Chains A and B, each alone.
Chain A
Amino acid sequence: MVHVVMATGFLLILIGFYGALTHRNLLRMIVAFTVADTGVNVVIVSVGHMRGRSAPILDRAVAAADAVQRIIDPVPQALVLTAIVIGVGVTALMLAYAWRIYRQHRTLDIARLTALKG
């Protein structure tokens, strides 16, 4: 089961990379990056999964005393929580820069943005 989730994550990363490498339109590249970002998060969360265990929240179902035997690894979940939030910030920044580029050059096609070409 974990392998299916992990394979989905890897597939999303590959789809995102493919999109970012082949598309010329900045907006499409940004969408592709967010797809790859989601894939990375899925993979990291799946690493923390352990068969037959419960979420790392202590309540009536999981007593604090036997938590070590009952819960999955909480560290990847904490990592992904951070990664998702930073991903939103990165996406917002990319969109803002894309808008600035469009405003200045009237195009989102990277093939036509040649200002840095020697």
Chain B
Amino acid sequence: MVKRLVALALLAVFGLVFATLLTGYAPDAELNQTARYYAERTAADLGAANIVTAIIVTYRGLDTLGEVTVLFLAAAIVGLVLAEGAHDRSRMRPPVGELLTTGTRFLVPMILLLGAYVFVNGHLTPGGGFQGGAIIASAVLLMLLADPLRHFSHRLISAIESLAGILYVAIGIAGLFLAGGFLDNRILPLGNLGELASAGAIPLIYSLIGLKVGAEFSSMLASLSETEEP
């Protein structure tokens, strides 16, 4: 009881802080200096239509490389922590049902296609590597729901993941020699704003990020599903 009261008192303090922030908040009428720079320079400098993508892939590309690394570490640790759970393949499971099995067969290719579409068009439309990767992983999740005992090749997943990572860093280093700096997208021609083959290396980098994120999420899902109660 006392604990609950302490928790409620703490929440009241947080609520007071949030209420003060909320009542004192007035939306900006103009973009601040950083946002203004991105809004003015993105189209001319990088040729990307989606400014959020330009920030993530090029302006703050190093941070994104770090973020993908954090995600890789999370996937690796999940695999490590769950590694001891042996998979009992002999146990029979009840069938999951005709609807789910057939629906999976029908939907998985389309989900994969949508995922690829989202990350290839990351510089033009709302979307990109992280979103596309998550969509691809949702196809893996659907396959696992339809057949919980399905085994995904961890070797294939980690091969895709490391290949995408190596190419990502290689493109970044190519930027050092061929353009202005690490992860500079201007190693390829910028093209016309709004076309698929534009914005230099951004579609390439975001596709690699999409494959990497999809592989990392898939490996997390596979590790979680392969874990059985001892």
Please give the residue numbers on chain A whose beta carbons come within 8 Å of chain B beta carbons, in ascending order. 2-3, 6-7, 10, 13-14, 17-18, 21-22, 47, 49-51, 55-59, 64, 67-68, 71, 73-75, 77-78, 81-82, 84-86, 88-90, 92-93, 95-97, 99-100, 103
Contacts and interface: CB of A to CB of B under 8 A. Distances in A.
Contacts of A84: 130
17 contacts: A13-B14, A17-B14, A50-B29, A57-B126, A64-B44, A67-B43, A73-B35, A78-B55, A81-B56, A82-B63, A85-B130, A85-B213, A86-B67, A92-B220, A93-B74, A95-B78, A99-B82
A68 B41 CA distance: 10
A108 to B, nearest CB: 13
Main secondary structure of the interface of A (DSSP, over half): helix
| Category for how many chain B residues contact A | 35 or more
- Identify the 3 closest CB pairs spanning chains A and B, nearest first: A89-B74, A64-B43, A21-B7
A14 B18 contact: yes
A73 B194 contact: no
B153 to A, nearest CB: 20
A79 to B, nearest CB: 9
A44 to B, nearest CB: 12
Interface string B62-86: 0110010011011101100110110
Contact of A58 (B36, B194, B224): B194
A64 B40 CA distance: 7
